Amino acid sequence: MRSCGGWCSRGAGAGVEYVLDGQRRTAGAARDVVLAAGAVGSPQLLMLSGIGPAEQSRSLGIEVVRHLPGVGQNLQDHPFAQVTFTTREPVDTASMPDTPHVVLRSDPAADPDLQLVFVHFPLPHREPGAEMEPWGGSAWRPERLDGYSVLFSLQRPHSRGSLRLAGADPGDSPLIDLGYYTDPRDLDLMVTALRRARQLGGAGALGPWRNGESAPGADVTGDAELRDYIKPATSSLCHLVGICAIGTGEHAVVDPDLRVRGIDGLRVADASVMPSIIAANTNATVLAIAERASSLLTGQNG
């Protein structure tokens, strides 16, 4: 089953159109429809339904239902890269839940803006021009070397990306611009994080066991060189948020009650409504959004 991107509003009722076994069908809702298709899926379905930037809808032959310029904007994520070391002795791999994490902040009064993660195997280094894969993809299989990596990630990015439709066919994957490092402050922070990761991975206590730094390499020390390493080495922690941001301003997509602005009977409840990314994994916050949506619905409808 897949949505065909059709939002239906009929007086007091609402519903969605979808395709099942090649047949287009409609599911009605006596009360509200809650869209929870994820940080990418929800804005895509809104835009396919004519709810989003009007110019984009018209250019693709989609009827404009509501002009909401904020749909597809304000994309945020946690980018990461790594410093990798080889060792003289074999490394016993361990599961990620047991992996040590360190969070750092540049301002004592601010949220942590950097995170370090010790990984018990040497992650492969992506060469410039290589296709990006999220954590867990085939490109992240450990290299056939004994070693370890220290991941460093940006927790409070200043940069913003965007999402737009590739076409009017719901089967077309949307075009995502992650926007990494469009704000130069983010790359400066990642250089700081790399230096901290290198300091941790190169600690004296590991000296008798460590062989050397394989990426970016101990001879890569200048800020410009480190920036050149970080940019192609960056990948996503898959924590996308913000593309249907909650708020009251011109670019807000949903109101504080998770209702899509200007559309009766439609709400969004997933990571896409977060106006700014948190300095942590997004899962718990998404669960809180779901709980809030449940409370709003039961409070309104009894």
Domains of the chain, CATH where assigned: 29-74+240-298 (3.50.50.60), 79-157+181-236 (3.30.410.40)
Compute the average pLDDT of residues 32-43: 95
pLDDT of residue 125: 56
Give 202-252 pLDDT, tens digit per residue.
Answer: 999 989 889 999 999 999 999 999 999 999 999 999 999 999 999 999 999
Compute the average pLDDT of residues 19-32: 85
Give 72-113 pLDDT, tens digit per residue.
Answer: 999 999 999 999 999 987 766 554 444 544 555 555 545 668
pLDDT of residue 10: 44
| Statement: residue 132 has pLDDT above 70 | no
What residues contact 248, with CB distance under 8 A and at least 6 apart? 255, 256
Task: Identify whether 239 is a catalytic site residue.
Answer: yes
pLDDT of residue 127: 52
| Statement: residue 295 has pLDDT above 60 | yes
Averaged pLDDT score across all residues of the chain: 85
| pTM across the whole model | 0.84
151 versus 140: which is more confidently predicted? 151
Rounded distance, CA 208 to CA 110, Å? Answer: 37
Catalytic residue among 78, 125, 239, 251: 239
